[in-house]
Amino acid sequence: AQSVAQPEDQVNVAEGNPLTVKCTYSVSGNPYLFWYVQYPNRGLQFLLKYITGDNLVKGSYGFEAEFNKSQTSFHLKKPSALVSDSALYFCAVRDGSTGGFKTIFGAGTRLFVKA
């Protein structure tokens, strides 16, 4: 079965420090992987995706993610955290077992960046 795991409910970092939000996945076939961010009382915003190609993908707001096939991971990273990065982050994977485009989301990781 296709699945996404975000092992940390919450991540706390100090402003200016690097941040990592972890994600592991299980899919059949080639993974289509995504990160989304949700600010309070708003819908989700697309950050970045991995479909194919370079394992390090860069996205919006200075975020990047590294695809690791052997570890089935797609961790989100940022070299220097900002207080404004505080939000709920979701990792997602396309369910390749069906036709169309069914997306499975992880449970989400709440990021707190302290000034």
For other proteins, the binding residues (CB under 8 A) are: 32, 34, 36, 41-46, 49, 51, 90, 94-95, 98-108
Separation between Cα atoms, residue 85 and residue 87, nearest integer Å: 6
Q: Closest approach of Cβ 115 to other proteins, in Å?
A: 27
The count of C-alpha atoms lying within 13 angstroms of the C-alpha of 86, restricted to the half-sphere facing its C-beta, is 12
CB of 43 to other proteins, least distance (A): 4
Q: Answer for the pair 8, 1: CB distance below 8 angstroms, yes or no.
A: no
Residue nearer to other proteins on the CB measure, 85 or 95: 95
Residue carrying the six token digits 């080639």: 30
Nearer to other proteins, 14 or 107 (CB): 107
